[in-house]
Amino acid sequence: MLPSVIHQSSFTMKVAFALSALFTSVTAQLRIVGGKEAAVGKHLYVTGLRSSASGRTSCGGSLIAPNVVLTAAHCMKVRVNYVAIGSHYNSGTMDGEQIKVKQAIKHPKYNEMTYSYDIGVLILELDSKFPAVEVSFDTVAADTTTVVQLPHLDPGTTSAPGPTKPTTIPNITTKKPTTASPYTTSAPGPTKPTTMPNMTTMRPTTAYPKPGCATCGVCYYPGADYCLDDFSKDYCEYYIPEYGTLWCGN
């Protein structure tokens, strides 16, 4: 059962049922390339998950109740502190509304290796002013083959210049960056990484980056609350075009 912060008790039961029955096994698609830009003012239930109110959107979700956002469990690998609802942008506070997250709940059977039961909900501190998307809670008889298809709206990339990013997701680590060295802000001839780096919640404390350094062990890009470790020089050059300036250290 979800917390009592969801106002209608009958709705609470339906949402709890949906979380256990809507998805039994999902293979997560970690990146989106293609599609077309959504019209401004439409699909206002679409929600961006952020570390701060104005920070970069790291994942997407849907507003299914005034204070409930339905999302994927793998989106909670990085702490979600705020949601941006009804915004047309990947970051900032120019439009929509930004609401603090009160509680993040993963499906109890979520498997990080197989992405089974890759579903979760975010309980918000305040109700949203935007209308929630209608969700079907019709009961499906046992042993019925069911296909669930939702229109997918999410922050993404409409094109992919250069090599495609790796499709594996980073692992989370509590490893703290050691000494840090500056690195270049441009990327001549990026090389596609063969593996993805690990993530850590520790930020480097070095000065603003300057050109230099041949290798790189720690990277941090603006708008995120985590660093990327186990980076080589090629990795850094590869990610600079997408994320902008990187802070790096050996």
H-type helices in the chain, by residue range? 9-21, 233-243
When the pLDDT of each residue in the chain is averaged and rounded to a whole number, the result is: 65
Select the more confidently predicted residue: 217 or 117.
117
CATH superfamily of 9-124: Trypsin-like serine proteases (2.40.10.10)
Residues spanned by CATH 2.40.10.10 within the chain? 9-124
Handedness of CA 7, 13, 19, 23 (dihedral sign): negative
Q: How many helices (H) and strands (E) does the chain have?
A: 2, 11
- The tens digit of pLDDT for each residue in 35-80 reads 677 777 788 899 999 999 999 998 999 999 999 999 999 999 888 9
Q: What is the rounded distance in angstroms from the CA atom of residue 206 to the CA atom of residue 79?
A: 23
Coil, strand or helix: which one is 74? helix
Select the more confidently predicted residue: 172 or 136.
136
Whole-prediction pTM:
0.48
- The tens digit of pLDDT for each residue in 23-33 reads 433 444 445 55
Average pLDDT over residues 111-121: 90
Q: What is the rounded distance in angstroms from the CA atom of residue 182 to the CA atom of residue 225?
A: 19
Do the beta carbons of residue 128 and residue 151 sit within 8 Å? no
